[in-house]
C-alpha cells in the first residue's frame, strides 16, 4: 500500500495545484518512482489511497499501464490520516497475511521484498523499519526491539505503551512498515495516526523495530530539502 493521500503542505508551492504523489523528482512523479520500485521487487498488487487532488492520481493511474493490479482507496470525502487510511483499506487485505505500507514521499534502495518475506517467516505481528538518524520524534524500543514508547524531543513529551521505562533505544521511523492485517480488525473506521495505533497495538502484539542502513533513503517532505534531494537522485540515476 502506498500512502498518497497527504496534503503535502510542507512542500508549499509544489502541492498547490497537484498532490504530493505527483510532484516530480528527477523528472518522474514520486508515485511512479514507488510503483515501479515495488513492481521491480516483485509486488504485483498495490493499493493507493487518495485525498488531496485525488482525481489527478486516478487519471495518472488510468493513463499509465503498470504491470500490476492497482486499486484506489478513496479518501476524498474525509482524510483518514496515516493510520485511519489503513483501517479504511482493510477490505483490500482480506486474503493476505502481510501488507507492506510505504509513504509516497520516501525514496530508497531498500530490499523491500526481502524484508517482506523475512517478516512472513518471523512470527511477529508488525515490523517498523527504523534508522538511527536525527529527527525530532523518535520511537522507543526495549532490548528485544519491541516498541515501548514514543518521544517528541522538541516538546520533551513521551507516550508509553505500558508505563514509563528508564532504559530504551531511540530510533527514527522510516515511513515503511509491514503488518499482519488482522491486528487492525477491531478498530473503528475513523482518523488515526499510525504511530498512535502502533502504540496501542504494542501492548498486545509484537511490534518490532527493524534497523536499516540503506545507501539511498530520502524523505521528500520539506521544501527546504527538495532541491538537494532532487539533484542527488538525478545524479544517481544519470
For residue 238, is pLDDT > 80? no
- Per-residue CA distances from 57 to 10, 62, 65, 180 (Å): 19, 9, 14, 27
The three-class DSSP label of residue 34 is helix
Confidence (pLDDT) at 46? 98
Q: Is the dihedral of CA 212, 215, 219, 225 positive or negative?
A: positive
pLDDT tens for 44-95 read 999 999 999 999 999 999 999 999 999 999 999 999 999 999 999 999 999 9
Please give the distance of CA 153 from its chain centroid, rounded to a whole number: 21
Residue 236 pLDDT class (50, 70, 90 cuts): confident
Confidence (pLDDT) at 145? 98
CA-nearest of 210, 29, 209 to 110 is 210
Fold of 2-237: Spore Coat Polysaccharide Biosynthesis Protein SpsA; Chain A (3.90.550)
Q: What's the CA gap between 45 and 67, in Å, rounded?
A: 9
Q: What's the average model confidence in pLDDT over 113-132?
A: 98
- Per-residue CA distances from 120 to 83, 97, 99, 102, 151 (Å): 21, 7, 10, 17, 29
Confidence (pLDDT) at 74? 98
Lookup: cell for 72:
484506489
For residue 118, is pLDDT > 80? yes
Q: What's the average model confidence in pLDDT over 111-121?
A: 98
Confidence (pLDDT) at 158? 98
For residue 225, is pLDDT > 80? yes
pLDDT tens for 7-40 read 999 999 999 999 999 999 999 999 999 999 999 9
Q: Is 53 left (phi over 0), alpha (psi -120 to 50) or beta?
A: left
Confidence (pLDDT) at 215? 87
Is residue 149 within 8 A of residue 161, CB to CB? The reply is yes
Please give the distance of CA 200 from its chain centroid, rounded to a whole number: 18
Tell whether pTM > 0.85: yes
The three-class DSSP label of residue 162 is coil
Confidence (pLDDT) at 181? 98
Confidence (pLDDT) at 237? 83
Q: What's the average model confidence in pLDDT over 170-178?
A: 97
Confidence (pLDDT) at 148? 98
Is residue 31 within 8 A of residue 22, CB to CB? The reply is yes
Is residue 196 within 8 A of residue 160, CB to CB? The reply is no
Q: What's the CA gap between 118 and 134, in Å, rounded?
A: 27
Burial environment of residue 120 by CB neighbours within 10 A (0 to 12, 13 to 18, 19 or more):
middle
Q: Which residue ranges make up each domain of the chain?
A: 2-237
Amino acid at each position: 500500500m502506498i500512502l498518497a493521500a497527504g496534503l503535502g503542505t510542507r512542500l508549499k508551492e509544489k502541492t498547490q495545484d497537484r498532490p504530493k504523489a505527483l510532484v516530480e523528482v528527477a523528472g518522474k512523479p514520486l508515485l511512479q518512482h514507488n510503483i515501479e520500485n515495488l513492481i521491480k521487487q516483485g509486488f504485483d498488487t498495490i493499493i493507493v489511497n487518495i485525498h488531496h487532488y485525488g482525481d489527478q492520481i486516478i487519471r495518472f493511474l488510468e493513463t499509465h499501464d503498470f504491470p500490476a493490479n492497482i486499486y484506489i482507496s478513496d479518501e476524498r470525502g474525509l482524510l483518514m490520516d496515516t493510520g485511519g487510511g489503513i483501517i479504511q483499506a482493510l477490505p483490500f487485505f482480506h486474503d493476505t497475511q502481510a501488507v507492506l505500507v510505504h509513504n509516497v514521499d520516501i525514496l530508497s534502495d531498500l530490499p523491500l521484498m526481502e524484508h517482506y518475506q523475512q517478516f512472513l517467516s518471523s512470527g511477529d505481528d508488525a515490523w517498523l523499519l527504523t534508522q538511527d538518524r536525527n529527527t525530532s520524534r523518535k520511537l522507543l524500543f526495549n532490548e528485544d526491539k519491541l516498541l515501548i514508547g514514543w518521544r517528541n524531543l522538541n516538546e520533551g513529551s513521551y507516550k508509553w505503551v505500558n508505563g514509563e521505562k528508564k532504559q530504551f533505544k531511540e530510533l527514527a521511523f522510516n515511513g515503511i512498515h509491514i503488518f499482519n492485517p488482522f491486528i487492525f480488525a477491531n478498530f473503528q473506521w475513523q482518523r488515526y495516526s499510525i504511530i498512535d495505533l502502533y502504540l496501542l497495538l504494542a501492548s498486545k502484539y509484537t511490534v518490532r523495530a527493524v534497523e536499516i542502513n540503506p545507501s539511498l533513503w530520502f524523505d521528500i517532505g520539506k521544501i527546504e530539502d527538495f532541491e538537494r534531494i532532487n539533484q542527488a537522485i538525478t545524479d544517481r540515476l544519470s
